[in-house]
Structure 1
Amino acid sequence: MTSKNGPLRIGIGGPVGSGKTTLTEKLCKALRDDFSIAVVTNDIYTKEDAMMLARLQALPEERIVGVETGGCPHTAIREDASINLRAIAELNKKFPDLDIIFIESGGDNLAATFSPD
């Protein structure tokens, strides 16, 4: 399924407590036997969502990258996506067969586009 443009990137956004991490977990578990998957999570000062996905065995730990934005998470997926783009590049390098990368935003990205454009 991997295209010449790399894996499909799917953004998961919503308010705090809306179930983004649970949705990501369920999607990974439902699709992991048929597709090569990785996840990037965004949190302000922790990697809690990434650690939770690893604890829940959504994917092997090395396929989950937690990004600490250091500020409003919307900045890391809209204004300056470089931290997420680096995480995606690292995952692509580590797993060249990736089909899908889920990018889970922090909790305040109701208008997120998951694109630097």
Structure 2
Amino acid sequence: MPLSSVVRGRCRDLLPDGEKIRYLFPASSVAALSDYFIVVTDNTVTVLGCRWFSRHRPSTVQATYPRRTKLGPVELYGSLSPTVTIGPLLLEIDDEYVSVVRAADAEILTADYLPPDPLPEL
């Protein structure tokens, strides 16, 4: 289910002035049983922590990474929820947000993210 404008506004309030949300998706910590929002802007990837028992109320900035931080690969483990690792956090995401993670990563793909050519021209 897409995130409401109210949730997007709450997330925007925790970002630095002038930052615009490009991608936003909810995630849950596998180990800590905590809920997060991952906000991708033009300059950063920000992890917002949510309040207890309120998955849609971000309250703190847990971590900020440069935009070149890759969010994937998305790990799929059979019947379990897809997971991504951002910094030290192993996060579960809903199936519908896998495409969001892949789209955010596709924007930053450059030659240094691609594997070397196995058959270079001689």
TM-score by length of 2: 0.27
Between the two structures, name the one with larger relative contact order (CA 8 Å, sep ≥ 6): 1
More helix by share: 1
More strand by share: 2
Answer with 1 or 2: which has the greater Rg.
2
TM-score by length of 1: 0.28
